[in-house]
Amino acid sequence: MEASKEQILVNRLLLKEEAAWKELFGVYSGNLSYVCSRYIIGKDDVHDVLQNSFIKMFRSIDSFEYRGKGSLKAWITRIVVNESLKHIRQYSDFKVVTSDFEIPDMTDEEEPDLEEIPQEVIMEMIRSLPDGYRTVFNLYVFESKSHKQIAELLGIAENSSASQFHRAKGLLVQKIKEYKMLIKAQYE
């Protein structure tokens, strides 16, 4: 959405114009569902979190400050992430996952090789991670939070955040290797 259209939409939202809220929902709900589903697995829960997010946006639009192109999207995305985290803390038996999973040792340089893997498959791999791993991974990778910020958000130790991220990455590397072997086997 170009800056002037975005600013006009913001002005209409500030006036609590019903059509503007419908437009906001129409333009951004797909992207926000995607963001939410990185954290929340159940469809009904995603729906509930999005509904709560839009209510929060409506109630707090007066505090929004337009700072140029993309600021509206950034603001509403931040609300969805925060509402997703709130939901996880309230309804999930969110805990820091310990060594319940066998994760192969990997060097710090070993990055998951994502080439030639469809984005939907990668997102499914991320969604299949245990709650703690998935949440820390998403906050670190997609929201660019530091381990210190993640620790504060989730009420865990900073080194737990780093450990969760490392384990999430290890599991993803393992899932990617398995996927590639499966694909390779199909062509042999």
pLDDT of residue 89: 82
Least confident of 39-53, 82-96, 167-181: 82-96
pLDDT at 188: 75
pLDDT at 96 over 60: no
What would the CATH number be for the domain defined by 3-91?
Answer: 1.10.1740.10
119-186, CATH topology level:
Arc Repressor Mutant, subunit A (1.10.10)
**Inter-residue contact 37 to 103 (CB < 8 Å):** no
Average pLDDT over residues 122-142: 92
Q: Is the pLDDT of residue 39 over 60?
A: yes
Res 104 pLDDT > 80: no
User: pTM to 2 decimals?
Assistant: 0.77
Q: Is 134 or 184 the better-scoring residue by pLDDT?
A: 134
Q: Is pLDDT at 48 greater than 90 in this prediction?
A: yes
One-letter amino acid at 34 equals Y
Using alpha carbons, select from 45, 48, 2, 34 the residue that is nearest to residue 138: 34
DSSP assignment letter at 61: G
Fold match flag (3-91 vs 119-186): no
Q: What is the pLDDT of residues 12-32, one digit of tens each?
A: 999 999 999 999 999 999 999
Provide the pLDDT for residue 112: 58
Q: Residue 166 corresponds to which amino acid?
A: H
**Radius of gyration from C-alpha coordinates of the chain:** 19
Spell out the domain ranges in the chain.
3-91, 119-186
**Residue indicated by tokens 């309230």:** 90
Interval 153-175 mean pLDDT: 91
Render the burial of 9-37: b for 16+ CB within 10 Å, e for the rest.
bbebbeeeeeebbebbeebbeeebbebbb
Q: Are 168 and 136 in contact (CB under 8 A)?
A: yes
The pLDDT mean for the chain works out to 86
**pLDDT at 123 exceeding the cut of 50:** yes
CB 101 within 8 A of CB 172: no
- So what's the pLDDT on residue 103? 46
